[in-house]
């Protein structure tokens, strides 16, 4: 059976591809005019908020109902502010403060910036409970390691963001916190005794009215020992839809990630995700070309023709995507910007531990700064600034900064730096 134009348009109606460049390429414009659901913006698409607003206006001219998504978690995962780093602390800092009114206010302020830039859905917050200290991909992106704390701040973040007119997206269902594998590279497994703990923030997110939930490419043997959550009808339909009662848009994490694309290819994984209960396919964190997006569309259409994917399921997915677009298109009063909220939150998150009565802060003289740089995971843009050395050099002239990677931080190298400090204040950044 040949692929009809209507079937291809229906397949396009569930796709959110990425693209290269700071203006929409011709293929994106053309596909939006033919019914493409939307796009996902990454730092490669962003110069500053003014440019993003112009970019999204161009997208909307092709399709007024376009969904424009991005990962703006604040903290280390930022897209709008990737050049200089986020002006707002991340989720872990908010969890340390543990003031839900502050979290809601910060999210509302963030939502105001996103709405002004024309972004309609923010793939945040991370509702993961980071209960495994060896987690390679969540870490500071989570509000903490306690399910109750993560739950209340997930609710607050959702309320704030959506009050500004931007759809929130709780991730990574059913919980990426108690894992030790990065799903960009492999398949994490959620232990049977950890799943209820991991689900608590998602239950809270649904109760808070979250408009979207992002799947994690995780194996959850308690529900399905064979398929990762993104591809599992037992997890997406049985657990998320039927047991938890979620009626909003289910969007996949990047479908090109190895945990799901490895066995089936990007197109095969996309078709299976829709069949399992996902509504929208996120493409393009690592693949941003027209051929990939066209291949996914064709694979979904072919899955309908072969019987792997019922056309009714695809139509239902497109309907839910359209409902999110309609919600995002409602006119709302813009949130008043609060340029100080990020600084206020960051100051409140600072904790000072004293081991002696010697003065520690504030620094008033040139310091020796040693930065032990972490290995960044793929969720964090590699161009995101990290550390405090450059700022201290500017504030306290004469300050010196040395940065080590894990392989460089040998005993001899550290001894050389420490021996040259000559009684100056020492700042270790980890």
Residue 157 pLDDT exceeds 50: yes
| pLDDT at residue 190 in the model | 79
Do 304 and 392 belong to one domain? no
In a domain, 345, yes or no: no
For residue 263, give every residue at least 6 positions away whose Cβ sits within 8 Å of its Cβ, in sequence order, or none. 269
Average pLDDT of the residues in 363-380: 78
Cα–Cα distance for residue pair 67/38, rounded to 1 Å: 4
Do 175 and 60 belong to one domain? yes
| pLDDT at residue 296 in the model | 97
Residue 183 pLDDT exceeds 60: no
| Domain termination site, one of 293, 328, 363 | 328
Do 372 and 316 belong to one domain? no
Residue in 173, 178, 268 with CA at minimum distance from that of residue 223? 173
Cα–Cα distance for residue pair 333/346, rounded to 1 Å: 27
Do 56 and 205 belong to one domain? yes
Residue 2 pLDDT exceeds 80: no
Do 91 and 193 belong to one domain? yes
In a domain, 336, yes or no: no
Both tokens of 332, joined, read: 């709302």
In a domain, 43, yes or no: yes
| Domain termination site, one of 328, 362, 397 | 328
Tens digits of residue pLDDT in 383-406: 777 788 888 888 999 888 888 887
Average pLDDT of the residues in 165-185: 80
Do 259 and 394 belong to one domain? no
In a domain, 287, yes or no: yes
| pLDDT at residue 355 in the model | 72
Give the total residue count for the chain: 430
Given the DSSP bridges, would you call strands 426-429 and 121-122 parallel, antiparallel or unpaired? unpaired
Q: How many CA atoms lie within 13 A of 156 on its CB side?
A: 20
In a domain, 334, yes or no: no
Do 395 and 262 belong to one domain? no
Residue 284 pLDDT exceeds 90: no
Do 365 and 313 belong to one domain? no
In a domain, 335, yes or no: no
The percentage of residues in the chain with a pLDDT greater than 70, rounded to a whole number, is 93
Residue predicted with more confidence, 398 or 360: 398
Do 315 and 376 belong to one domain? no
Report phi then psi at 27, rounded to 5: -70, -35
Residues identified as active-site: 184, 253
Average pLDDT of the residues in 359-381: 78
Residue 300 pLDDT exceeds 50: yes
Residue 192 pLDDT exceeds 90: no
For residue 133, give every residue at least 6 positions away whose Cβ sits within 8 Å of its Cβ, in sequence order, or none. 145
In a domain, 333, yes or no: no
Average pLDDT of the residues in 208-228: 94
Cα–Cα distance for residue pair 79/346, rounded to 1 Å: 19
| pLDDT at residue 175 in the model | 86
Do 382 and 234 belong to one domain? no
| pLDDT at residue 404 in the model | 84
Report phi then psi at 400, rounded to 5: -115, 145
| pLDDT at residue 24 in the model | 97
Do 66 and 180 belong to one domain? yes
Tens digits of residue pLDDT in 410-428: 777 778 877 777 778 888 8
Torsion of CA 79, 17, 170, 114, to 10 degrees: 40
Residue 357: band (very low, low, confident or very high) from pLDDT cuts 50, 70, 90: confident
CATH number where 287 lies? 3.20.20.300
Residue 339: band (very low, low, confident or very high) from pLDDT cuts 50, 70, 90: confident
In a domain, 338, yes or no: no
SS (H, E, C) 390-422: HHHHHHCCCCEEEEECCCCCCHHHHHHHHHCCC
Residue 208 pLDDT exceeds 90: yes
| pLDDT at residue 283 in the model | 94
Residue 209 pLDDT exceeds 60: yes
Number of domains in the chain: 2
Tens digits of residue pLDDT in 47-90: 999 999 999 999 999 999 999 999 998 888 888 887 888 889 99
Buried b (16+ CB within 10 A) or exposed e, 77-87: bbbbbbeeebb
Residue 1: band (very low, low, confident or very high) from pLDDT cuts 50, 70, 90: very low
Do 359 and 323 belong to one domain? no
Domain of 366, in residue numbers:
352-429
For residue 388, give every residue at least 6 positions away whose Cβ sits within 8 Å of its Cβ, in sequence order, or none. 369, 371, 427, 429
Q: Which residue has the tokens 């903290």?
A: 75
Tens digits of residue pLDDT in 242-267: 999 999 999 999 999 888 998 899 99
Tens digits of residue pLDDT in 26-55: 999 999 999 999 999 999 999 999 999 999
| pLDDT at residue 332 in the model | 62
Average pLDDT of the residues in 331-344: 76
| Domain termination site, one of 265, 293, 328 | 328
């Amino acid at each position: 059976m040949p692929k009809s134009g209507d079937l291809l348009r229906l397949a396009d109606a569930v796709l959110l591809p990425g693209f290269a460049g700071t203006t929409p390429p011709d293929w994106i414009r053309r596909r939006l005019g033919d019914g493409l659901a939307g796009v996902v913006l990454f730092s490669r698409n962003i110069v500053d908020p003014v440019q993003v607003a112009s970019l999204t206006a161009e997208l909307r001219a092709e399709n007024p109902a376009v969904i424009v998504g991005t990962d703006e978690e604040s903290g280390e995962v930022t897209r709008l502010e990737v050049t200089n780093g986020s002006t707002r602390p991340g989720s872990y800092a908010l969890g340390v403060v543990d003031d839900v009114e502050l979290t809601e206010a910060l999210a509302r302020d963030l939502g105001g910036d996103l709405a002004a830039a024309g972004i309609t859905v923010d793939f945040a917050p991370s509702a993961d409970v980071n209960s495994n200290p060896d987690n390679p991909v969540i870490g500071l992106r989570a509000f903490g390691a306690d399910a109750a704390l993560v739950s209340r701040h997930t609710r607050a973040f959702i309320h704030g963001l959506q009050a500004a007119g931007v759809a929130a997206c709780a991730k990574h269902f059913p919980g990426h916190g108690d894992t030790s594998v990065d799903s960009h590279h492999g398949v994490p497994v959620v232990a049977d005794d950890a799943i209820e703990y991991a689900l608590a923030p998602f239950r809270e997110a649904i109760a808070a009215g979250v408009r979207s939930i992002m799947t994690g490419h995780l194996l959850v043997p308690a529900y399905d020992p064979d398929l990762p959550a993104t591809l599992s009808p037992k997890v997406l339909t049985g657990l998320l839809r039927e047991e938890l009662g979620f009626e909003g848009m289910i969007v996949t994490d990047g479908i090109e990630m190895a945990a799901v694309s490895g066995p089936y290819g990007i197109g095969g994984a996309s078709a299976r995700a829709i069949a399992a209960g996902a509504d929208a396919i996120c493409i393009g964190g690592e693949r941003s070309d027209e051929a990939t997006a066209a291949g996914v569309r064709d694979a979904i259409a072919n899955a309908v023709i072969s019987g792997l994917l019922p056309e009714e399921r695809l139509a239902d997915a497109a309907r839910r995507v359209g409902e999110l677009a309609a919600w995002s298109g409602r006119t709302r009063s813009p949130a008043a910007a609060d340029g100080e909220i990020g600084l206020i939150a960051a100051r409140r998150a600072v904790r000072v531990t004293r081991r002696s009565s010697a003065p520690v802060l504030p620094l008033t003289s040139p310091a020796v700064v040693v930065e032990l740089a972490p290995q960044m995971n793929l969720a964090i843009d590699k161009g995101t600034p990290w550390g405090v050395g450059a700022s201290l050099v500017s504030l306290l002239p004469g300050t010196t900064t040395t940065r080590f990677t894990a392989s460089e931080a040998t005993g001899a190298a550290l001894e050389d730096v420490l021996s040259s400090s000559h009684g100056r204040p020492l700042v270790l950044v980890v």
